[in-house]
Amino acid sequence: MESTDRFVPVRDGTTIMAVVYDGGVMLGADSRTTEGSLVYNRVSDKIEPIHKRIFCLRSGNSSHTQKIAQLCRLYVSQLGSELEQAPPVYSAAKIIQSFIYNYKSFLSAAMICAGWDPVKGPQIYTVPLGGTLVREKIATGGSGSAYMSGFVDTHFKEGMTRKECRDFMIQSISLAMFRDSSSGGIIRLVDITKDGVSREYISHDQLPLKQPLSLIH
């Protein structure tokens, strides 16, 4: 008999990724928001701005991660005003970590914080479920990350050029979207350097691997 408990966990998923390259850091994500087998949004934006050169990637419960990003944006903005300069990326990551750790029994949230600051340059910090904070050169997350892990381990190298990093991320996320039913839509990219931030999206017809059109909707 099917359970009628409304608090039964619901499967959700995504694909997020961040890579440090020579001169900057690039973030990427798919755009599908799911709840179980239902697709609620085909073009959601999982790359949230925190400050001018700091962004976070969201995976887990959308409402939980959106609220964490909103509060982090508020605190980092206040910190930047007090410092009168670009706030450290680590500070933003630490704020995200404090929410996920302190409320780990209530939240379903795993996030990646990445950006550039004048002290440490391009940085990536992962905050998985439970609230651990780890600095990485490359980070992946979400249900789709398992489908691209072999490709990522084989082809990642430190000191990539911007073009190499972009091609690597598009190929990796495309592989995850092709295999993971909870990932799909388009690929969004954010490139962060000392000179600024640029956004890009890769439409379905530009993907190296394409899901059948019947699975996109």
For residues 181 and 5, what is the distance between their CA atoms, to the nearest angstrom?
25
State the SS3 of 67-105: HHHHHHHHHHHHHHHHHCCCCCHHHHHHHHHHHHHHCCC
Question: Of 14, 33, 65, 126, which one is the catalytic site residue?
Answer: 14
HSE on the CB side for 47, CA within 13 Å? 28
Whether 65 is catalytic: no
For residues 86 and 25, what is the distance between their CA atoms, to the nearest angstrom?
16
Catalytically active residues are 14
